[in-house]
Amino acid sequence: MDHALPRLVGEDVQVPCADGHQRRYVNLDYAASTPMMADVWEAVEAFVPYYSSVHRGTGYKSQIATDAFEDARHDVARFVGARPSDHVVFVRNTTEAINVLAAALPAGTRVLSSPVEHHANMLPWRKHDVRLLPFTRSPEHLLEATEAALRSSPTDLLAVTGASNVTGEVWPLAELASLAHRFGAQLLVDAAQLAPHRAIDMAATGIDYLALSGHKLYAPLGAGALVGRMPDDGEPLLHGGGAIELVTLDDVIWLDAPDRFESGSPNVIGVVALAAACRQLLRVGMDTIAAHERLAVRYLWDRLATVPGLELYSLWPGDSTDRIGVATFNLDGYRDPLLAAILSAEYGIGVRHGCFCAHPLMAELRGYDDDDMREFAAAIRAPGPNPHHPGAVRASIGVGTTAADIDRLVAALHSIERFGPRSEYAYDGEHDEYSPRALAA
């Protein structure tokens, strides 16, 4: 499972545990935010002395910073296989990228999406005319449902994930692009989870728009990108300096893309880090990374299946399903926030818990129907304590994950299932979190 993979900052960090011992931290929360690659940190350190404002500054540092900022567009475009006509718009993250596109498209754009999406690729489309596909149980079912939906009603944009942040399934993007184009639609891909794990070629696949985040791409400094041919007359999400050709007291003339969509002072250091990550991942080779992670995720799922009382969640079951390094589960007898707290406090293992900004998908996986969710919403709006969300625990892996890390997680789960926690845990009802109170005798 070990290849010539990037070095990560903080790989050997020791953390205190509830028994008073220090343990090497096992990071199984890559899907939330990745560690920083050492090469990215080195690129940031080399740039920081020259950090300055970009665009229109005549000072030497401003010119250096502007060149670095603009050169980063080429690095990102190359990483995702963009077409020469595509724009690279720098934003804070995938959420902002999709909101930028939603604002730029004409009012009433007819959007087809899915209930599997992260909220970032769900909520922005509600200002338009949006329809949702059904939950599907295989790639073939997804393609059949997509074709039927496209055939039944005119569609301008198909907006889907590249890989689920909850269940890890990789979506058949080339086939979806072909279907979208056949029926006169464009394809937007939320690649926040896909980009760190698989090679992307927008031109070859037929992706029209793509959104990604640096903090999931081993460059966690608050920069992301929206890539695609932006509308010439699109409305900017943010109105302000840096995107303007001329302002009068009653008129505004916007710049062309990409500047039109980048109002305000940008996160130059974040953009430099994102570009460095793209270069380094291409040097290592995304096929090398994918090969490492396919072995790791298969090992993760196989080992988790040995834990009694553990339920793994998936939309598309089966060993042949292409899946990024995500495994979401629950263990009998333990609510997800408690299980996550035990793994952290007693074993030094970092995971994520909750609904992962994908409430409809988690409700489906947990068996909650529409009536259940309406009752749940009413209970949240009512006075008093909020009900517990139908959550789970998510372990997610990346280039730094080893077989030993997975073994640590599985051994911890076996121990918890058999012997229970060794500490007592205090419950914080306001935040629905647990923290260790004392080490049990």
Q: At which residue do the structure tokens 């927008």 appear?
A: 202
Q: Dump pLDDT digits (tens) for 287-334.
A: 999 999 999 999 999 999 999 999 999 999 988 899 999 999 999 999
Classify each residue of 365-402 as buried b or exposed e, where b means 16 or more C-beta atoms within 10 Å of its C-beta: bbebeeeeeeebeeeeeeeeeeeebbbbbbbbbbbbbb
Q: What is the CATH architecture of 14-31+285-439?
A: Alpha-Beta Complex (3.90)
Taking the model in full, what pTM does it have?
A: 0.96
pLDDT range class, residue 441, cuts 50, 70, 90: very low
- Distance between CA atoms of residues 131 and 115, nearest Å: 10
179-189 burial: b if 16+ Cβ within 10 Å, else e: bbeebebbbbb
Give the integer Cα–Cα distance in Å for 154 and 111: 9
Q: How confident is the model over 226-264, as pLDDT tens digits?
A: 999 999 999 999 999 999 999 999 999 999 999 999 999
Question: pLDDT tens across 138-175, in order?
Answer: 999 999 999 999 999 999 999 999 999 999 999 999 99
Span 269-284, pLDDT tens digits: 999 999 999 999 999 9
Q: Is 37 within 8 Å of 7 (Cβ atoms)?
A: yes
Q: Mind giving me the DSSP string for 169-221?
A: BBP-HHHHHHHHHHTT-EEEEE-TTTTTTS---HHHHT-SEEEEEGGGTT--S
Q: What are the pLDDT digits (tens) for 326-371?
A: 999 999 999 999 999 999 999 999 999 999 999 999 999 999 999 9
The architecture CATH gives domain 39-284: 3-Layer(aba) Sandwich (3.40)
Do the Cβ atoms of 132 and 114 come closer than 8 Å? yes
pLDDT at 2 over 70: no
357 annotated active-site: yes
Backbone angles phi, psi at 199, to 5 degrees: -65, 140
What is the C-alpha to C-alpha distance for residues 405 and 65, in angstroms, rounded to an integer? 39
DSSP, collapsed to helix, strand or coil, labels residue 393 as strand
Helix (H) or strand (E) holding 150: helix 139-152
Q: Which helix (H) or strand (E) holds 90?
A: strand 87-91
- Mean pLDDT, the chain, integer: 96
The band of 192, judged by pLDDT with boundaries at 50, 70 and 90, is very high
Cα–Cα distance, 372 to 384 (Å, whole number): 19
Q: Would you tell me how many other CB atoms lie within 10 Å of the CB of residue 220? A: 22
- From the number of C-beta atoms within 10 Å of its C-beta (0-12, 13-18, 19+), residue 433 rates as middle
Query: Considering 17, 278, 355, 357, which one is annotated as catalytic?
Result: 357
pLDDT in tens, 54-107: 998 899 999 999 999 999 999 999 999 999 999 999 999 999 999 999 999 999
Under 8 Å between Cβ of 409 and 395: yes
Q: Give the pLDDT band (50/70/90) at residue 1.
A: very low
Which runs of consecutive H residues, i.e. helices, occur in 305-429?
A: 336-347, 359-366, 370-381, 403-419
pLDDT tens-digit readout, 378-404: 999 999 888 888 999 999 999 999 999
The confidence score (pLDDT) of residue 439 equals 55
Q: Which of 273, 229, 440 is nearest to 346 (CA)?
A: 440
Instruction: Report pLDDT for 3.
Output: 46
Percent of the chain with pLDDT over 90: 94
Element containing residue 16 per DSSP (H, E): strand 14-16
**DSSP three-state, residue 8:** strand
Q: In whole angstroms, what is the distance from residue 298 CA to residue 267 CA?
A: 37
Identify the burial level of 439 via C-beta atoms within 10 angstroms of its C-beta, where 0-12 means exposed, 13-18 middle and 19 or more buried. middle
Cis peptide before 258 (omega within 30 of 0): yes
pLDDT given at position 384: 85
Other Cβ atoms less than 10 A from the Cβ of 418: the count is: 10
Domains in the chain: boundaries? 14-31+285-439, 39-284
